[in-house]
A and B are shown apart, each in its own frame.
Chain A
Amino acid sequence: MDLYKELLIDHWKNPRNFKRLKRATSRVKLVNPLCGDKMTLELKVENGEIADVGFSGTGCIISQAAGSLLTEEVRKLKKLDKICKIDEKEYFKILGTNVVPGRKKCALLAYQALKKALEGNGRQNT
């Protein structure tokens, strides 16, 4: 079992930060039309720091577990400038798994949502 490591399955079954925020400062909704994965990612930023983060959506295990793992990391890092430094390589480290090219789109949905959400807070992508 390579792809479906326990960590991933755990985050799929018990997603962390699976919620909608009341006063999000940015909100991004992305859809992967090929497989129907949906992801809404919300940030509440105060003074350059994450006050709250949440995601919601439906789709395959990879896309949804990724939402959970990434928002956990965002919460942990807290500072926006650190969060902005997450690149693709770092992202797959956070997921703890490598995906075949055919599943990359599923895996990247949360990452792309985060990047877009950060832009919404006037931050540059790395």
Chain B
Amino acid sequence: MQNLRKDFPILIKNSLVYLDSAATSLKPQQVIESVASYYSEIGATVHRGIYKSSVIATNLYENTRDQVAKFIGANSAREIIFVRNTTEAINLVAYTWGEKNTQEGDEIITTIMEHHSNFVPWQRLAERKKAKLKVVGLTEDGHLDMENFNRLLSKRVKLICVTGVSNVLGTINPITKITQAAKMVGAKVLVDGAQMAPHMKVDVENLGCDFFAFSGHKMLGPTGIGVLWAREELLNGMEPFLSGGGMINEVTVGDTTYADLPLKFEAGTPNIDGVIGLGAAIDYLNKIGMEKVRSYEEKLVEYGTGVIGEVRGVRVFGPEKTNLRGGVISFTVDKIHPHDLASILDEQNIAIRAGHHCCMPLHGKLGVTSTARASFYIYNTKTDVDRLVEGINKAKKILK
């Protein structure tokens, strides 16, 4: 996908090797322009105005909701709630559905490979409700331990919270297996789609989950816009998360009735330019095709795990089979602290991430305090990987 690099102004301006797309992706000109043109040509808010520009803004905003619904295979745009990011989407579920549907003695299952975003809210909910948080472990090769998962399943389990793709190990988790098993005990399943939606075709109906959360900024969109998808009947049964303007039907001194879905969950003036930018990002991805995004990244990761793994002293984490691995390679280099490696690479204009990547429980399990992480997206090339390998070798030489 060499030819699309020209769409990314940051890649044109610098000789930057950007390998931190799992944290946030770069944005193509098309997305940047869509955001700019909202401010330079429309400017009005949504859902209110009688005047033309507000009608245009509302149409763009609501069209994006339709687009998002199609993008993830939702049955209806009413099931698409715009939030700030994955973290907010998960908290929304914890504070509404979770608050109402968990009680003392209930159990919530999460996994050791979760991002803090899909871990801490459940830890806190369990604490509030005196429920139990159960944590699924890992196999040797970085997959979820499904035997362990099956043992943890019981009628007491109300919710299973699992990431679609690990942001550290790259593991692509067997979500359909998990949702099928969940149905047998009547548990709901929340999928953290932050590393999934940007990188592969998602169909929430096929996945069989009940909640799906993701962030626009990791999929070419602006920061500050994310999505919660949930089944309509669940959303109808949930109390509002935030309340105020925009989410009401009628307010009297004594009482308030709420707006219908999805606006019931969108209190306050929303992130209009973020939504419009997300729409442009989805257009961009659709033009390429999500199957192609995935197959391109799979090849890149296969190449990457190969050549990075060959460097002496390097330990690559996560599954060996690249067909079960997203665009993430976490590794350590013998005797070099990941922070030092990242700093030396930075001096060669190579951006990687070093640390615990918001997965402290996982790093504890792996027996390291931090790792270095290179993550890929559609604009990365084999040349980027080669420069990373060169950079690692250079770091080894400097610190020999």
Asked whether any CB of chain A lies closer than 8 Å to the CB of B41, the reply is: no
Question: Contact at A4–B343, with CB atoms within 8 Å?
Answer: yes
Residues of B within 8 A of A34 (CB): 355-356
Measured in the bound complex, the distance between the Cα atoms of B344 and A100 in whole Å is 12
Are A35 and B369 in contact, with the CB atoms below 8 A? yes
- Partner of A59 from the list B337, B344, B347, B355 (CB cut-off 8 Å) is B337
A4 touching B398, Cβ below 8 Å: yes
B320 at the A interface (CB under 8 A): no
Known A-B contacts A3-B347, A34-B355, A34-B356; A103 and B398 likewise in contact (beta carbons under 8 Å) = no
> A83 to nearest B CB, angstroms?
28
Residues of B near any A CB (own CB < 8 A): 337-340, 343-344, 346-347, 354-356, 369-370, 398-399
Residue ranges of A at the interface with B (Cβ–Cβ < 8 Å) = 1-4, 9, 12, 34-36, 59-62, 100, 103, 106
The reply to whether B355 and A35 contact each other, CB–CB distance below 8 Å, is: yes
Could you pull out 12 A-B pairs where Cβ atoms are within 8 angstroms? A3-B347, A4-B398, A9-B398, A12-B399, A34-B356, A35-B338, A35-B339, A36-B369, A60-B340, A61-B337, A62-B343, A100-B343
Nearest residue (CB) in A for B342 is A102
Q: A1-B398, A36-B369 are in contact. List 13 more A-B contacts (CB 8 A).
A: A2-B347, A4-B399, A9-B399, A12-B399, A35-B337, A35-B338, A35-B354, A36-B370, A59-B337, A61-B337, A62-B339, A100-B346, A106-B339
Say how far B387's CB is from chain A's closest CB, in angstroms: 17
Q: Which A residues are CB-close (under 8 A) to B398?
A: 1, 4, 9
Which of chain A's residues have a CB closer than 8 A to the CB of B339?
35, 60, 62, 103, 106
Which of B339, B343, B347, B356 counts the most chain A CB atoms within 10 A?
B339
Nearest A residue to B343 via CB reads A3
What residues of chain A lie closer than 8 Å to B338, measured between beta carbons? 35
Tell me the minimal C-beta distance from B168 to chain A in angstroms. 15
A61–B333 CA distance with the chains assembled, in angstroms:
14
- Closest A residue to B394 by CB, please name it: A1
B9 → A minimal CB distance (Å): 23
Q: A4, B344: Cβ atoms under 8 Å?
A: yes
Q: Do B370 and A1 touch (CB < 8 A)?
A: no
A84-B321 Cα distance, complex, nearest whole Å = 56
Given A1-B398, A35-B355: A61 and B340 within 8 A (CB)?
A: yes
Q: Compute how far the CA of A12 lies from the CA of B355 in the bound complex, rounded to whole angstroms.
A: 20
Residue of B nearest to A32 (CB): B369
**Neighbour of A61 across the interface among B346, B354, B399, CB < 8 A:** B399
User: What is the CA–CA distance of A52 and B337 in the complex, to the nearest angstrom?
Assistant: 29
Q: 8 nearest interchain CB pairs? A: A36-B369, A60-B337, A60-B339, A61-B340, A60-B340, A35-B370, A3-B343, A35-B339
**Least distance between B164 CB and chain A CB atoms (Å):** 26
By beta carbon, the residue of chain B nearest A105 is B339
Chain A residues positioned under 8 Å from B343 (CB to CB): 3-4, 62, 100, 103
Specify the chain B residue showing the minimal Cβ separation from A64: B337
Q: How far is it, in angstroms, between the C-alpha of A103 and the C-alpha of B338 when the chains are bound? A: 12
Tell me the complex Cα distance, A61–B337, Å: 7
> Which residues of the other chain, A, contact B355 by a CB distance below 8 angstroms?
34-35
Rounded to whole Å, the gap between the CB of A11 and the closest CB of chain B is: 13
The residue from B337, B347, B369 contacting A1, defined by CB atoms under 8 A apart:
B347
B247 CB, min distance to chain A CBs, angstroms: 38
Residue of B nearest to A58 (CB): B337
Q: Which residues of B lie under 8 Å from residue A9 when comparing CB positions?
A: 398-399
Chain A: which residue is nearest B368 at the CB level? Answer: A36
Q: Which residue of A lies closest to B360 (CB)?
A: A33
- In the complex, what distance in Å separates the CA atom of A116 from the CA atom of B339? 25
Nearest chain A residue, comparing its CB with the CB of B395: A4
Cα separation A60 to B395 with both chains bound (whole Å):
13
B370 touches A62 (CB 8 A): no
